[in-house]
Amino acid sequence: MTECEIERGTLTLMQGARHLGISRSLAYQLAATGKFPGVRRLGRRYVVSRKALQAYLEGPQSEDRLDADRNGSAD
């Protein structure tokens, strides 16, 4: 990255969906219901906070879900 380049603090909804490994339609469904981590509506666009998405992916909730999957538990 050069001096003139600035890393954006947000991702598009589709970039966020790719990070989560989910489909476009599921991403929009989650965003519309407020369940997509770090999503904000700006006018007609959805943007995703990089920090919030990263925290979600690294947070204890992710570990709890993984443990539940390993143990065969369902939500």
Give the pLDDT band (50/70/90) at residue 5: confident
pTM metric for this prediction: 0.69
Give me the residue spans of the domains in the chain. Answer: 10-71
Tens of pLDDT along 19-42? 999 999 999 999 999 999 999 999
Helix, strand or coil, per DSSP, at residue 4: coil
Structure tokens at 28: 């929009």
- The pLDDT value recorded for residue 30 is 96
Q: What is the mean pLDDT of residues 37-49?
A: 95
Cβ-based burial of 46 (10 A; exposed 0-12, middle 13-18, buried ≥19)? buried
Q: Inform me whether the pLDDT recorded for 65 exceeds 60.
A: no
Determine contact, residues 10/48, Cβ cutoff 8 Å: yes
Structure tokens at 64: 């709890």
